[in-house]
Amino acid sequence: MTMVQRGKAVKTRVRKFKINDLDQVVAIAERYASWDLTSTEVDVEGFHSASPEFFFVAEAENKILGFVCGRESNPPAETLNKWKSRKVASIETLAVDEDYRRQGIATSLLSALFEAFKQKKIDLVTLSVPAVEIAAMKLYGKLGFEPRAQFLWKRLDSSY
C-alpha cells in the first residue's frame, strides 16, 4: 500500500508485530486505544504473548503507523450453536496514528488479521467499540460488521 506523507508517496506495509516495535505501539495505544483504561506496555506485551499470530503493525520508513491485535475466543458450545459458528475470535484493539488516518491503514491491518483468523478456521469475529468512535463504527459497518448488542450506562450519582 502506498500513502502520501508531506507531499511524497511512502510505501506502507503490514507485518507481524515484533518485540522491538513495543515502544512505538505503546505510544500509539496510549494516545488512541484507551477506552476505560489507558493501555500500558504490560497490556501490549500481554496481547502479544497471548496471541502473537494475531498481532499486526502497519509501518512506513521504520515508523509504526498503527496496529491491531485479536485473540481466539472460547464461548460455550450453546453460544456457538446460537451464533451458527464453529470458531470465534475478537478484535481486541485497533489504533492508527491520527496523522495517518483515512488512508486505508486500518482496513489493511484488519485484512491481515482476518486472513490470520481464516487460517485458524475462525468463522466469526466480534468486537466492542466505544459509542463516541463514530468513524470506527462506520469503518466496521463498511467491512460487514453488524450490531449485536448495546452496552448502556446511567450515572446515579453525578457528584463523583
So what CATH class is 2-142?
alpha beta
Place of cell 496471541: 51
116-146: per-residue pLDDT in tens? Answer: 999 999 999 999 888 888 888 899 999 999 9
Angle of CA points 28, 29, 35, to nearest 5°: 135
The residue ranges of every structural domain in the chain are 2-142
Sheet of 63-73, strands arranged across: 13-16, 55-60, 63-73, 88-96, 124-126
33-52: per-residue pLDDT in tens? Answer: 665 555 666 677 767 777 88
66-82: per-residue pLDDT in tens? Answer: 999 999 999 889 989 99
Angle of CA points 109, 130, 114, to nearest 5°: 25
